[in-house]
Structure 1
Amino acid sequence: MPSQLLPLVTAELSAPADPRAAAMAGALAAKYPQAARAVLFYGSCLREQNLEGLMLDFYLIVSDYPAAYGQSWLARANRLIPPNVFPFEHQGLIAKYAVLSEADFARLNGMEADNVSVWARFAQPSRLLWAADDLARQRAVAAVAQAAPTLLALARPMAEGQGDALVLWRTGFTLTYNAELRAEKKGRSLSIVDADPERYRRVGEAALADGLPSSPADAPARWRGLQRRGKRLSVIRLAKASFTYAGGIDYLAWKINRHAGTQIAIKPWQRRWPLLGALTLLPRLFRGGAIR
């Protein structure tokens, strides 16, 4: 039976994006000439007309980590705790990009993923702005096409009105927001669907028509595991980013202030010791509800 979802995912990934973002994707791929396979643009900036002063979000998909980094410790870090995250600037715009291998990108969009971070993002709209060749493009599209079925299949046992696509989406995004340290205000998970309900209904109904993967036998236990692991991974990735991401603590403060309406100011000692500085923010942020 032909897939109803795959053509929708292919069309969405191929839709036009801001030319400046496309140029940035090409420049990013050029940094990794022996390894780059695909560059995807995602996140809130996808919907923005004015990109000045915003932090764009990309995923760089590579053939494997040694090809991207050589024998650097970065290859081991990316394999053990994917992804690595780095800053990037091009023609006056700033971005951050996450690096995953083709194999990890496919795995982390599927039901076997042990955390929500990749499939929760790629169940939302994204753009494939650069691909090394047709095979790289096909693999990227196939990986992204797993994301929505994964979210919906995991959400279905937890939702009331299991046959309604929008109910499943809202349930799924609420659960994923509880499985990471999030800087967004309460209710942000529901606003994702409300921003474009027709898109989510169309994609959701296509995924349901194709047949979702089997939901876990004990869905509440699976979600509790995802939530525990997701929040631990968020802290570990924050620690890793203090080594891979120049100015990472300033980005953390910017992100939280932008989404949570706080006025966090980074002190000089926190910039000097960014790992310690970032960790000292966590108790205050939890108490204030800036991250959940």
Structure 2
Amino acid sequence: MASLTKSVAEELAIPVDPRIAVFAADIAARYPDGAAQAVIFYGSCLRSEKLEGEMLDFYLIVSDYRAAYGDSWMVRANEMIPPNVFPAQHDGLAAKYAVLSEHDFHRLNRVEADTVSVWARFSQPTRLIWSRDEAAADRAAEAIAGAAPTLLTGALAHMEGDECDALELWERGYALTYGAELRAERSNRSQSVVDFDPDRYRRFTRAALADARIQAELDGDSVRLLPGQEATIAAEQKRWPALRRRGKWMTLARLAKASATYAGGIDYLAWKINRHAGTEIAIKPWQRKWPILGALVLLPRLIAGGAIK
């Protein structure tokens, strides 16, 4: 994975707006000395470079949960239903940040992970905007280097035929991940993610394929499966129904947990769905008072109406 880790580290080091770096340092400083290891920027604001009026997406990587929270129920919450998610504001910018330990961050970027949520995001472009030291930065890059091979392993197992265009393979991978969570996304979302920077995905393809569980070769812009892998492909296909079921239930579990950690979480949920699905959901006062119940009442209607899938 050395070649891919190098590419990931180079991408992580691309500069961002200085305000984002200051924001990340402010988040890291909220935790006890030595707990925060890295802050990583990802998501739609990274792609669009729009900051004002948007919700930035960060991951805070910590040494371990007890170091981050002390003797708190949030240690167990982060262990059982990772990650914990919190709101943050700094100098006119707003963000949400998810907390993972270095151990969980590495594990959830690998093919052994039982949900897609982490590796689906970190197979996309990311930036390391704060790190405790060079060693912490290296560990973050090594963890993220597992994400793209995991995505492409799933995509290779679900190819139609033995050959496809490299960008189509990435799109297939993202379509699989969107189907394994409750997502307020339009049907062409997986294509739009790749279309935003197709050259980046083409650059990453060869190194990511080299570390994928299913073997394939890159010939120009085409990816071709190597023969004799029927058992490996069947095993990968077999695990996806469970990934989809667990992913949707975990989405609900994280939402319920966020009502205790994320002030205004149900309003953020409505904003996110309205933005991506084109709906006009308005949260009622009673739903703010009892956000878990409000979300549970809201979600079945959204699923039935196709706003989230």
* Distance in 2 (alpha carbons) for counterparts of 1:186 and 1:163: 21
Paired positions, count: 290
* Distance in 1 (alpha carbons) for counterparts of 2:81 and 2:38: 20
Structure 1, unaligned runs of 5 or more: none
**TM-score (normalised: structure 1):** 0.96
* Distance in 2 (alpha carbons) for counterparts of 1:163 and 1:278: 40
What SS class does the counterpart of residue 237 from structure 2 fall into? helix
| Superposition deviation, residue 154 in structure 1 | 1.9
1:270 aligns with 2:305: no
Partner amino acid, structure 1, of 2:171 = R
Could you tell me whether the CA contact under 8 Å between 1:166 and 1:200 is conserved in 2?
yes
1:169 aligns with 2:156: no
What SS class does the counterpart of residue 4 from structure 1 fall into? helix
Could you tell me whether the CA contact under 8 Å between 1:253 and 1:266 is conserved in 2?
yes
* Distance in 2 (alpha carbons) for counterparts of 1:80 and 1:256: 26
* Distance in 2 (alpha carbons) for counterparts of 1:165 and 1:109: 21
* Distance in 2 (alpha carbons) for counterparts of 1:166 and 1:9: 18
Q: What is the correspondence of 1:1-292 to structure 2 with a 5 Å cutoff?
A: 3-34=2-33, 35-160=35-160, 161-162=162-163, 164-208=165-209, 210-214=210-214, 217-292=234-309
| Superposition deviation, residue 212 in structure 1 | 1.9
| Superposition deviation, residue 136 in structure 1 | 0.7
What SS class does the counterpart of residue 75 from structure 1 fall into? helix
% identical equivalent positions: 64
Could you tell me whether the CA contact under 8 Å between 2:12 and 2:128 is conserved in 1?
yes
| Superposition deviation, residue 186 in structure 1 | 1.3
* Distance in 2 (alpha carbons) for counterparts of 1:274 and 1:211: 42
What SS class does the counterpart of residue 2 from structure 2 fall into? coil
| Superposition deviation, residue 138 in structure 1 | 0.7
Structure 2, unaligned runs of 5 or more: 215-231
What SS class does the counterpart of residue 20 from structure 1 fall into? helix
| Superposition deviation, residue 134 in structure 1 | 1.4
**TM-score (normalised: structure 2):** 0.91
Partner amino acid, structure 1, of 2:126 = S
What SS class does the counterpart of residue 171 from structure 1 fall into? helix
Could you tell me whether the CA contact under 8 Å between 1:162 and 1:168 is conserved in 2?
no
RMSD, aligned CA: 1.4
Higher mean Cα deviation, 190-199 or 124-133? 190-199
Partner amino acid, structure 1, of 2:103 = A
